[in-house]
Amino acid sequence: MRVGYYQYHPEFGAPKRNLEKVEDSLAGVDADIIVLPELAFTGYFFEDRDELKELAEDVSESPTVHGLSRLCKNNTFYLVTGFAELCKERLYNTALVIGPSGLLHRYRKLHLFNTEKEYFDPGDTPLNILEIRGAKVGVMICFDWVFPEVARTLALRGGCCSL
């Protein structure tokens, strides 16, 4: 299993340019799984909930998710990426697992840090494990690691990965 991490500084409020940067940087990379940063396409520091709502995307209609799905298909790897998710009127700090066949998994951050509580709604997805090329992978986001029950739940289910 070859796991890579692509750490970069997303341009705030520029999902299209950030997607282009990721596509250009990861095209042709030989890896099984590549992990991107939290909120990799919008950036992190929002002025208010309205600004976040303007930048967040519905997963099913997202040009970012469609572009990442193509990237995964063309390179036969999987991505774990942070994503500002709009779902009806709710806003989530989400991690997506995307592979050659498209979106496989969505995890919404349970433990919001500091001012995140002003912008995001607490996550409502269960902690689950998925199998990628024989490896059992679980996902948590940043501040979730502080709470041992998150890592413990994922470990008891057979795997762990942090974004």
State yes or no: is 117 an active-site residue: no
Beta bridge partners of 14: none
CB distance 109 to 93 below 8 Å: yes
Q: Considering 109, 116, 160, 161, which one is annotated as catalytic?
A: 109
At residue 35's C-alpha, the angle toward residues 30 and 37, to 5°, is 135
Please give the span between the terminal C-alpha atoms of the chain, in angstroms, as a whole number. 18
Catalytic residue (choose from 21, 72, 85, 142): 142
Cβ-contact 33, 80 below 8 angstroms: yes
Active site residue 72: no
Residue 20 a catalytic site member: no
Structure-token match 């303007």, residue found: 54
Q: Which residues form the catalytic set?
A: 38, 109, 142
